[in-house]
Amino acid sequence: MDRQILDVLNTGIVILDNKYQVVLWNHWMEMNSGKNREEIEGSLLFKHYPQLNTLFFTRSVKSVLNFNNYVYLSQKLHTYLFPFPTRGIYARDFEFMQQSCSLIPLTGEDGEKLIVITVQNVTETVFLEQSLKEQTRLDGLTGIFNRRYLDKRLDEEYTRFKRSGRVFSLMMLDIDHFKQVNDNYGHPFGDLVLKELAALCNDIVRGSDIVARFGGEEFSVVLLDTEAEGAMIFAERLRKKVEELSFRNNEGLSLSITISLGVTTVTKDIESSAHLIEEADKALYSSKESGRNCVTLYDDKKHKGKPKKSSVMGR
């Protein structure tokens, strides 16, 4: 095989013999591995990459050598074969280059069975795929999850509850008199309030919880493995933090806001995730009717379908 041709390819090419000795290491592999061909050709591959000495890899090689099979290693399943560092703008997102690889049978000039490993750098493609996926589930303004993702996760958690009894709570919150913020301070300031409130919610929840923008100035928080009492404590903590917070823009304008919150917890009487949203929304509406800046817990059994105002109240 003409080395000069292999060296100009924008693909990694490695040729091994049946004892895992490196027969060829092309220029692409040199550039991305930092290992010169003089250093690696003629030596055992596992000497340089011991992490490849696995049952999966050796079985794949034997399948190619013994049966002339082609083996493809998808990035989605294996992420990479050779641990090459990621360079450039993608280094902050991936520690190692993302690779799609193939193992191909080859017969040498003397009839010796060889194996060709091709390595393609697909880091940019993976980055773009992940970015697109993030865009479909994140709110464009606040950077937290959007309504579509919230609905999906609520469906999943409700199904999990029906199967295993894993309890979770849903909290809905709304910024009090938000229209006045936009009317008096302008929509850019209103956007600032939305973004900083979203950031505050993200800061105080656990990593497993879900913060989403429900729509407009309304947000939702899914508190996993949390009963009603714990959800109420969290909601009151958030209410107080918002009440104490001052929102400032670059022009020196300052504003304080309050929020109203509604809380509900999944029970065996809940018929769907949409039913759970309906209960949390009713509890939120009760908070607004009670003068705003307070937390309301929905309790269907004790209050015959009417929201119950919590003893945890603001002013």
pTM exceeds 0.75, yes or no: no
Closest CA to 59 of 33, 29, 20: 20
**Strands 113-121 vs 99-107: parallel, antiparallel or unpaired:** antiparallel
> Is 217 an annotated catalytic residue?
yes
Q: What is the pLDDT of residue 301?
A: 54
Q: What is the pLDDT of residue 300?
A: 66
Distance CA 60, CA 66 (A): 10
Catalytic residue selected from 157, 217, 236, 279: 217
Is the pLDDT at 170 greater than 60? The verdict is: yes
Q: What's the pLDDT band for 304 if we cut at 50, 70, 90?
A: very low
Specify whether the CB–CB gap between 171 and 221 falls below 8 A.
yes
Q: What is the pLDDT of residue 134?
A: 79
Q: What is the pLDDT of residue 312?
A: 45
* Range in 21-25, 31-35, 107-111, 279-283 the model is least confident about: 107-111
Q: What is the pLDDT of residue 132?
A: 84
Q: Who contacts 150 (Cβ-Cβ below 8 Å, separation ≥6)?
A: 210, 212, 214, 220, 222
Q: What is the pLDDT of residue 109?
A: 86
pLDDT tens profile 85-142: 999 999 999 999 999 999 999 999 889 999 999 999 999 999 998 888 777 899 999 9
Is the pLDDT at 308 greater than 60? The verdict is: no
What are 64's two structure tokens? Answer: 């190619």
Higher pLDDT, 310 or 285: 285
The 3-state secondary structure of the chain reads CCHHHHHHCCCEEEEECCCCEEEEECHHHHHHHCCCHHHHCCCEHHHHCHHHCCHHHHHHHHHHHHHCCCEEECHHHHCCCCCCECCHHHCCCCCECCEEEEEEEEECCCCCEEEEEEEEECHHHHHHHHHHHHHHHECCCCCCECHHHHHHHHHHHHHHHHHHCCCEEEEEEEECCHHHHHHHHCHHHHHHHHHHHHHHHHHHCCCCCEEEEEECCEEEEEEECCCHHHHHHHHHHHHHHHHHCCEECCCCCEECCCEEEEEEECCCCCCCHHHHHHHHHHHHHHHHHCCCCCEEEECHHHHCCCEEECCCCCC
Q: Who contacts 136 (Cβ-Cβ below 8 Å, separation ≥6)?
A: 148
Distance CA 196, CA 180 (A): 17
Q: Which is it for the CA torsion 270, 276, 282, 287, positive or negative? A: positive
HSE, side-chain direction, 13 A CA sphere, residue 20: 16
CA 259, 260, 263: angle at the middle one, nearest 5?
130
Is the pLDDT at 204 greater than 90? The verdict is: yes
What are 284's two structure tokens? Answer: 């939120």
Q: What is the pLDDT of residue 252?
A: 80
Q: What is the pLDDT of residue 97?
A: 97
Domains and CATH numbers, the chain: 3-129 (3.30.450.20), 138-309 (3.30.70.270)
Q: What's the pLDDT band for 250 if we cut at 50, 70, 90?
A: confident
Q: What is the pLDDT of residue 17?
A: 96
Distance CA 296, CA 244 (A): 20
Query: In angstroms, what CA-CA distances link 148 with 35, 135, 160, 267?
Result: 47, 11, 19, 23
